[in-house]
């Protein structure tokens, strides 16, 4: 069955340090990949998505992610984080041929400390 | 451009009661999806509506039902509420018939507490 695993439930990091949030997925068909961010008491906002083409995808707020088909991974990175990046981050996939329902991981809480 | 809006923001219900949650799509979006996000979990797909018809459903019982109106707004109805229905309910809209590559725009959610 299709699933998304976010390997870290919480990631504490100091301001201006680099960060990587890990995501692995399993699916029997090809997928599209997404990263969403959720700030406290808000809905989800799309950070970036991989549909096709270059495996390195750049998103908003300086985030980027790399699709690795052999590793079935889509890790999110930022070279230098800010306090304002403190939020929960969700990796999601949708399967090609589906009606577009997103399958989410359990989320990673990123805490940026001064 | 108006984003996705949901009402009410918070709701407290008693076990066994029924609840209706509402969603207004982003302007021009004709597909609406509903998700349930339990505490500490990622959102789970409930169902999707396109042109007023259910266009896909996740692993939720029939007491979860929905409607989409001609103006593309939508309702989520839950009957016979159970304690485990306590969650944040998210509505998302997208263009066209949805589809796996479509970007979904999420509302702020409705926090439902069942006591």
Which tens digits make up the pLDDT trace of B68-82? 999 889 999 999 999
Find all residues with CB under 8 Å of A19, minimum gap 6, and list them.
A11, A13, A77, A78, A81, A85, A110
Is B66 at the interface with chain A, CB within 8 A?
Answer: no
For residue A60, report the phi and psi dihedrals to the nearest 5 degrees: -80, 165
pLDDT at B26: 87
Q: What is the pLDDT of residues A83-92, one digit of tens each?
A: 999 999 999 9
pLDDT band for position A1 (cuts 50, 70, 90): low
Instruction: Name the average pLDDT for chain B.
Output: 93
pLDDT at B14: 98
For residue B87, report the phi and psi dihedrals to the nearest 5 degrees: -175, 175
Q: Given an 8 Å threshold on Cβ–Cβ distance, is A100 in contact with B33?
A: yes
Is B104 at the interface with chain A, CB within 8 A?
Answer: yes
Q: Given an 8 Å threshold on Cβ–Cβ distance, is A99 in contact with B45?
A: no
Residue A52 vs residue A34, higher pLDDT: A34
Residues 7-36 of A with CB under 8 A from B: 31-32, 36
Q: Looking at residue A68, what DSSP letter applies?
A: E
Q: Given an 8 Å threshold on Cβ–Cβ distance, is B106 in contact with A44?
A: yes
Average pLDDT of the segment spanning A97-107 = 89
Asked if pLDDT for residue B99 goes beyond 80, the answer is no
CA-to-CA distance for B51 and B64, rounded, in angstroms? Answer: 19
- B72 contacts B30 by C-beta, under 8 angstroms: yes
């Amino acid at each position: 069955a299709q699933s998304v695993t976010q390997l870290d439930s919480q990631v504490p990091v100091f301001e201006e340090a680099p960060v990587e949030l890990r995501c692995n997925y399993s699916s029997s068909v090809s997928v599209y990949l997404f990263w969403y961010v959720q700030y406290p008491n808000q809905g989800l906002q799309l950070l970036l998505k991989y549909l096709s083409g270059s495996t390195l995808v750049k998103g908003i707020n300086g985030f980027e992610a790399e699709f690795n088909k052999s590793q079935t991974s889509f890790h999110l990175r930022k070279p230098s984080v800010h306090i304002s990046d403190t939020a929960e981050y969700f990796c999601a996939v949708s399967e090609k041929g589906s009606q577009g329902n997103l399958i989410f991981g359990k989320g990673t809480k990123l805490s940026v400390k001064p | 451009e108006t984003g996705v809006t949901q009402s009410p923001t918070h709701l407290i219900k008693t076990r066994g009661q029924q609840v209706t949650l509402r969603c207004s799509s982003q302007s021009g979006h004709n597909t609406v999806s509903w998700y349930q996000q339990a505490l500490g979990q990622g959102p789970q797909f409930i169902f999707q509506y396109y042109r007023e018809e259910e266009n896909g459903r996740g692993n939720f019982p029939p007491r979860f039902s929905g409607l989409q109106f001609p103006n593309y707004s939508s309702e989520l109805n839950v009957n016979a509420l159970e304690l485990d229905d306590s969650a944040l309910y998210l509505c998302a809209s997208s263009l066209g018939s949805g589809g796996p590559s479509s970007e979904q725009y999420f509302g702020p959610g409705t926090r439902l507490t069942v006591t």
